[in-house]
Amino acid sequence: MNNLYMPELALVEDIKEETSNIRTLTISLKSRKPFSVLPGQFVELTIFGYGEFPVSVSAVLGPTRDRLQTTIQRIGKVTKETANLSVGSTIGIRGPFGNGFPLAEMKGKNICIVTGGVGLAAVRYLINYIIENRDHYGKLQLLHGARTPGDLIYKDFLFNNEEAQEQGIEILLTVDQPDAGWEGHVGVVTELFKRTTLDPVNTMAVVCGPSIMMKFATQCLANMGFGDDQMLVSMERRMQCGMGMCGHCMVGQKRVCLDGPIFTYGSIKDALERAF
């Protein structure tokens, strides 16, 4: 995309209802140009007549990479308008923006991903990338928590144990408030550390979710022996304009949209402790 100030016209090709207030959109540019996006980067979506908002890219699809998926939680004035989108709706898209995950540095290492709620959407593309390049990475673990079973997104992926085994992924799930049909773990996501083997040697951890969850997850990882630069945090939720102009995403001296949204914990540790 040449002019980062001007949204390009895009079409909503498909909509999947993940939960009562979260949906995944499959989007293509009207120009049919391919998307050049790295795992961890984000885009700005425009709902014409209402405004725009930043959102992570959860997948890039197709042999020519001309379809993009993004998962949106309806929590604000503009994002709530995504409920009125239907297949064929025209929206705008700017980007991609920000820095992605350090894929080269992660090669050859075990990867432990710890997420809460819709934070899983920010790392779904990373998981896809590792699966597609499985021989270049070691053990892959996903520890994910949600408030209730009904709040879990990507259920087809999370509950497909056979496919997870084939792809070499260990998936552990937990909820805060179970329903009558829930047979899994109950409690906060950090309790899942006790239910798996996690060795900090040659391992990188990725953390994304609500502030309180990220605070305790990074503390637990540090207590297990993870160094500050072995932990990667995604701060996408703090952004607004995506271009470093509004100042909304400042954490200490860091502008999340330009300096992130992916940071090593060590590079943002002091500012995060104040922000949390």
Q: What is the CATH number of the domain that holds 86?
A: 2.40.30.10
Are 119 and 249 in the same domain? Answer: yes
35 and 75 share one domain: yes
Q: Give domain status of residue 186, yes or no.
A: yes
Higher pLDDT, 5 or 27: 27
- Residue 60's pLDDT is 97
**Residue that finishes a domain, picked among 41, 73, 97:** 97
Please provide the average confidence, as pLDDT, over all residues in the chain.
Answer: 90
Q: Domain boundary residue among 97, 114, 139?
A: 97
The b-or-e profile of 201-229 (16+ CB within 10 A means b, else e) is: eebbbbbbbeeebbbebbebbbeeebeee
Per the domain annotation, does 3 fall within a domain? no
Both 215 and 123 in one domain: the answer is yes
Q: Are residues 216 and 115 in the same domain?
A: yes
Domain containing 128 equals: 103-275
On whether both 107 and 93 belong to a single domain, the answer is no
pLDDT at 5: 75
What's the structural domain count of the chain? 2
Max mean pLDDT range (31-40, 243-252, 255-264) = 31-40
Residues 91 and 109 placed together within one structural domain of the fold: no
Within this chain, do residues 92 and 110 fall inside the same structural domain, yes or no? Answer: no
The answer to whether the annotation marks 257 as part of a ligand binding site is yes
pLDDT band at 132 (very low <50, low <70, confident <90, very high): very high
Q: Could you report the per-residue pLDDT of 29-57, keeping only the tens digit for each? A: 999 999 999 999 999 999 999 999 999 99
Query: Cis bond leading into 96, ω under 30°?
Result: yes
Q: What is the pTM of this model?
A: 0.91
* pLDDT (tens digit per residue) in 189-211: 999 999 998 899 999 999 999 88
Residue finishing a domain among 40, 66, 97: 97
In a domain, 38, yes or no: yes
Regarding whether 211 and 111 lie in a shared domain, the answer is yes
Residue 245 lies in a domain: yes
**What is the domain-level CATH number for residue 152?**
3.40.50.80
261 contact partners, CB below 8 Å, separation of at least 6: 40, 42, 56, 98, 99, 122, 234, 235, 236, 238, 239
Annotated ligand binding at 241? The verdict is yes
**1 inside domain:** no
- Is the confidence at residue 274, as pLDDT, over 80? no
Asked if residues 187 and 116 have their Cβ atoms less than 8 Å apart, the reply is no
**Quick one: residue 117, left, alpha or beta (phi over 0 = left, psi -120 to 50 = alpha)?**
left
Residues 66 and 110 in one domain: no
Does some domain include residue 2? Answer: no
Query: How much is the average pLDDT of 164-176?
Result: 94
pLDDT, one tens digit per residue, over 137-161 is: 999 999 999 999 999 999 999 999 8
Percentage of the chain surpassing pLDDT 70? 87
Clarify whether residues 200 and 130 are in a common domain.
yes
CA atoms of 59 and 26, how far apart (whole Å): 9
> Is 242 a residue whose pLDDT tops 60?
no
Q: pLDDT at residue 23 above 70?
A: yes
The verdict on 129 and 240 lying in the same domain is: yes
Instruction: Based on the fold, state whether residues 82 and 122 are members of the same structural domain.
Output: no
Which amino acid does the sequence have at 20? S
d(CA 134, CA 185): 28
